[in-house]
């Protein structure tokens, strides 16, 4: 089969589009004929050796997958050959940037039917991150006010939609490049952070501050002043400590996405009912994935990119 792999950590130049052995599913696993493999920034961190995730070389990146089950391992129940699925697969295992991948059956759910199967690869990690940040870590409730800093990215698009659907008042920061997408997602207020400091634009307290963007420790701490007493600060940026304010009972939580088949199934249901929109910026052949890594290193990737393997 064809796969994108790296035999040593390093820059995008270590990626090779090459032949690899077709994987065999073990107990509790299924093999998927890949329809789509979504690129995520963490793929670059794993490839570069920056993230503390143990991998075996050569390694195939890609922890978001959509595709069709073509083989079942021993003991797998509830899934069938020929079924279309999506899932967030283990980051330390060989990933979905290939024609076939094996994945634990427990992380997979039926794919949405309201979006092309390849595009559905763009859902698992960002959709789960948004949901886990808002509801699992942030305990967001209807009528609360939420400030989403960095709403223009892939996670932000889902966070705005999910928060709005939950009945929250959504304040979102976005650049002019992504403001229309954020507006379409349902944000009540949009702050152009390139023109106005967020601290100046937010004049009333928020119940939840969700940070999805690169931010300095001082800048992050300053934003906490806009969180009401007893509120929550949630971040998906592990390189900067999520600040709290113990005197005002403002707690902090840092989100590391984890598989959750129940939540992912709920997201799929929302997609199929038209209540959640899947936004894909680019769909490229798998052979062009190394170039996507290069563009990402240069800061030229905006939105979700899905790599599509050649037909088997």
Would 259 be classed as within a structural domain?
A: no
Whether 30 and 103 map to the same domain: the answer is yes
Would 197 be classed as within a structural domain?
A: yes
- How much is the pLDDT for 193? 84
CA-wise closest residue to 145 among 252, 231, 243, 224: 231
CA-wise closest residue to 156 among 177, 135, 185: 185
- How much is the pLDDT for 151? 93
Whether 87 and 135 map to the same domain: the answer is no
Q: What CATH number is associated with residue 171?
A: 3.40.50.720
Alpha carbon distance 124, 36 (integer Å):
12
Residue 296: partners with Cβ closer than 8 Å, 6 or more residues away: 39, 41, 44
Would 78 be classed as within a structural domain?
A: yes
Alpha carbon distance 101, 96 (integer Å):
6
Whether 139 and 246 map to the same domain: the answer is yes
Would 289 be classed as within a structural domain?
A: yes
Whether 149 and 227 map to the same domain: the answer is yes
Return the H-helix or E-strand segment holding 207. strand 206-211
- How much is the pLDDT for 180? 87
Would 284 be classed as within a structural domain?
A: yes
What is the bridge-based pairing of β-strands 227-235 and 206-211?
Answer: parallel
- How much is the pLDDT for 312? 83
- The tokens describing 226, both together, are 């806009």
Alpha carbon distance 118, 231 (integer Å):
39
Q: What CATH number is associated with residue 106?
A: 3.90.180.10
Three-state DSSP class for residue 148: strand
Would 273 be classed as within a structural domain?
A: no
* Domains held by the chain: number: 2
Give the domain extent around 20. 2-123+278-308
Would 156 be classed as within a structural domain?
A: yes
Whether 158 and 244 map to the same domain: the answer is yes
Whether 282 and 242 map to the same domain: the answer is no
Whether 135 and 249 map to the same domain: the answer is yes
- How much is the pLDDT for 103? 98
- How much is the pLDDT for 238? 84
Would 270 be classed as within a structural domain?
A: no
What is the bridge-based pairing of β-strands 206-211 and 282-285?
Answer: unpaired
Q: Walk along the chain (312 residues) in steps of 10 and give the mean pLDDT of each run.
A: 98 98 98 98 94 94 98 96 98 97 98 98 98 98 97 94 97 90 92 87 95 94 96 94 96 96 98 96 97 95 95 87
Whether 147 and 230 map to the same domain: the answer is yes
- How much is the pLDDT for 206? 98
């Amino acid at each position: 089969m064809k796969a994108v792999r790296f035999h040593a950590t390093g820059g995008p130049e270590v990626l090779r589009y090459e032949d690899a052995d077709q994987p065999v599913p073990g107990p509790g696993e299924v093999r998927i004929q890949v329809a789509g493999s979504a690129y995520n920034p963490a793929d670059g961190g794993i490839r570069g050796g920056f993230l503390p995730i143990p991998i075996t070389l050569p390694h195939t990146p890609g922890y978001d997958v959509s595709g069709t089950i073509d083989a079942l391992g021993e003991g797998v129940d509830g899934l069938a050959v020929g079924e279309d699925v999506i899932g967030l697969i283990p980051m330390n295992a060989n990933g979905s940037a290939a024609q076939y991948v094996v994945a634990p059956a427990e992380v997979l759910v039926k794919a949405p039917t309201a979006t092309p199967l390849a595009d559905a690869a763009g859902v698992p990690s960002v959709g789960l991150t948004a949901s886990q940040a808002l509801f699992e870590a942030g305990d967001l409730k209807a009528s609360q006010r939420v400030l989403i800093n960095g709403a223009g990215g892939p996670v932000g698009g889902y966070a705005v939609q999910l928060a709005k659907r939950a009945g929250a008042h959504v304040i979102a920061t976005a650049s002019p490049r992504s403001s229309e997408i954020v507006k379409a997602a349902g944000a009540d207020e949009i702050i152009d952070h390139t023109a106005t400091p967020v601290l100046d634009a937010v004049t009333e307290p928020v119940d939840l501050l969700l940070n999805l963007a690169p931010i300095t420790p001082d800048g992050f701490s300053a934003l906490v002043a806009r969180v009401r007493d007893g509120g929550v600060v949630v971040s998906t940026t592990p390189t900067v400590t999520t600040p709290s304010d113990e005197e005002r009972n403002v707690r902090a939580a840092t989100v590391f996405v984890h598989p959750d088949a129940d939540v992912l199934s709920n997201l799929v249901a929302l997609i199929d009912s038209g209540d959640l929109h899947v936004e894909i910026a680019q769909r490229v052949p798998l052979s062009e994935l190394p170039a996507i890594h290069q563009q990402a290193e240069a800061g030229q990737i905006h939105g979700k990119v899905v790599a599509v393997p050649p037909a088997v």
